[in-house]
Structure 1
Amino acid sequence: MRLAAVDPHSRETMTFDWGSAKWYVQPDTDTPEAGLTFGEVVLNPGRGHDRHNHPDAEEVLYVLSGTGRQMLDDADPFDISAGDVVYVPRGVFHSTVNTGWTPMRLIAVYNPGGAEAALRGLPDFAALPAGAVPRLHRE
């Protein structure tokens, strides 16, 4: 096993109508010793991901920048902004929406890792190869 820093440009980018995700550490990549998934999620202005859950994994979201609304367990959404941490227990339905005019950046951690694989099944999923830069599109 060779330990080294992860070059973000060495990872593919998952893109969607609502934004993008890049997973830096995953159990099924070149870090097979990892038991969790760690990555960055970008929500485009005014966009968000639909209500969903992860039956087999808990999730932690750390807001790097931007402002949004977070829904947990089908309760009323609450405001989130840079520096906030959101814990999502296993199986709890949740969604995040960017309420600002700039991209909202989040760190996402799944424990155990692997829940991100389900994103490949979404109808708006497209993968960009390592090194490619995702683009915002105009509506």
Structure 2
Amino acid sequence: MSETAKAAATSPVVAAADVAPNRRRGGDIRVVLSPKTVGSTSGFMGTLTVRPGEYVAEHYHPYSEEFVFVVSGTLVARVEDVGVFEVAAGEGFMVPIGRRHRVWNDGDSDVRAVFYLGPLAPRPELGHVDTEELPVGGEAMSQPDVGAPRR
């Protein structure tokens, strides 16, 4: 185990508010529990907040399944070979390894969700493959012609 992982493993509690948001792919993504933050070895977990009109650009994970549980609001998801579906608060869904997927918020209030990916990719940069142009400036735009869901 690396020195960073050893140090992280001694502090098992991480607050989402203490994690810098990643808005590069859209939404507010915060990886809360990970090899870097707690020394995990099998996967990582975080939070996702998607404001009305926002989306997370289409992508896939070549090594990991992704599990998403919606805490509040209704998230719209598109998963390759499955289709488009809504996921309401109290519901979850799984994205199989290698399947392209995209999520967005068609509603009037924020969507809050928790996600988990596992197993880990051999290296972090191999874990995520973008398949859609990212939101302008790394921020999801709510203009009708920018970031509109491709159904």
Is the shorter-chain TM-score for this pair beyond 0.5, marking a shared fold?
yes
RMSD over aligned Cα atoms: 2.9
Query: SS of 1:108's equivalent?
Result: strand
117 and 15 in structure 1: CA distance in 2 versus 1, 3 angstrom threshold: farther
Q: What is the distance in 2 between the residues matched to 1:91 and 1:77?
A: 17
Gaps of 5+ in 1: 127-135
Superposed, 1:1-139 pairs within 5 Å as 1-16=9-24, 18-27=26-35, 29-113=36-120, 114=124, 118=128, 124-125=137-138
45 and 112 in structure 1: CA distance in 2 versus 1, 3 angstrom threshold: same
Higher alpha-carbon Rg = 2
8 and 49 in structure 1: CA distance in 2 versus 1, 3 angstrom threshold: closer
Fraction of identical pairs, as percent:
23
78 and 30 in structure 1: CA distance in 2 versus 1, 3 angstrom threshold: closer
Query: SS of 2:23's equivalent?
Result: strand
TM-score, length basis structure 1: 0.75
Q: What is the distance in 2 between the residues matched to 1:116 and 1:20?
A: 21
Which structure features the higher share of strand residues? 1
Higher relative contact order (CA 8 A, sep 6+): 1
Aligned-residue offset at 1:111: 0.2
Q: What is the distance in 2 between the residues matched to 1:106 and 1:72?
A: 17
Equivalent residue pairs, number: 128
Query: SS of 1:35's equivalent?
Result: coil
Q: What is the distance in 1 between the residues matched to 2:52 and 2:126?
A: 22
Which structure features the higher share of helix residues? 2
44 and 55 in structure 1: CA distance in 2 versus 1, 3 angstrom threshold: same
